[in-house]
Amino acid sequence: MSNTKQLLKTIIEGIQEKKGHNIVVADFSNIKDAICKYFVICQANSSTQIEAIAGSVSDMTREKLGEKAIGVSGLENAYWVAVDYGDIMVHILQPQAREFYDLEHLWEDTKLTTIED
C-alpha cells in the first residue's frame, strides 16, 4: 500500500475514533495540477468534537506512521478546521459550514467515496 493510501486510511480511522460522521473522500489524483491528491471531509456536531477529531487524526498519524501535519487552521473557533498533510487535506466542519460550503461538490470531475459511519 502506498504511503498516501496508508495515510488516508489512518486519517479516516482517526476521524471514526471520535465519531466524526458523513465522511467523504474526494479523489483529485487524476486532476492535473490539483492542490492535493485527496480531500477528506467530515462533520462534527460541536466545536469540542471538531477539536477532538483533529487531535485524534494528529495522534494516529504520528503514532502509526510518524507523519505530522504541515499545518492546521481554524482551531481558534473550531467551526471549520483544515489539516494539511501535503497530499491530503482534512476538512472537519460543523453541519452549517458543511452545508454552506458544500466542498465535495465544488469540483465536478472528482471521484467521491462515502465512508460508512
User: Which pLDDT tens digit goes with each residue over 30-39?
Assistant: 888 888 999 9
Query: Rounded to an integer, what distance in angstroms lies between the CA atom of residue 111 and that of residue 107?
Result: 9
> Is residue 53 within 8 Å of 71, Cβ to Cβ?
no
How confident is the model over 4-55, as pLDDT tens digits? 999 999 999 999 999 999 999 999 988 888 889 999 999 999 999 999 999 9
Cβ neighbours, 10 Å, residue 64: 14
Contacts of 99 (CB under 8 A, 6+ apart): none
Looking at per-residue pLDDT, the higher value among 49 and 108 belongs to 49
Q: Is the dihedral of CA 40, 46, 50, 53 positive or negative?
A: negative
> Is residue 89 within 8 Å of 37, Cβ to Cβ?
no
Domains of the chain and CATH, by start = 3-104 (3.30.460.10)
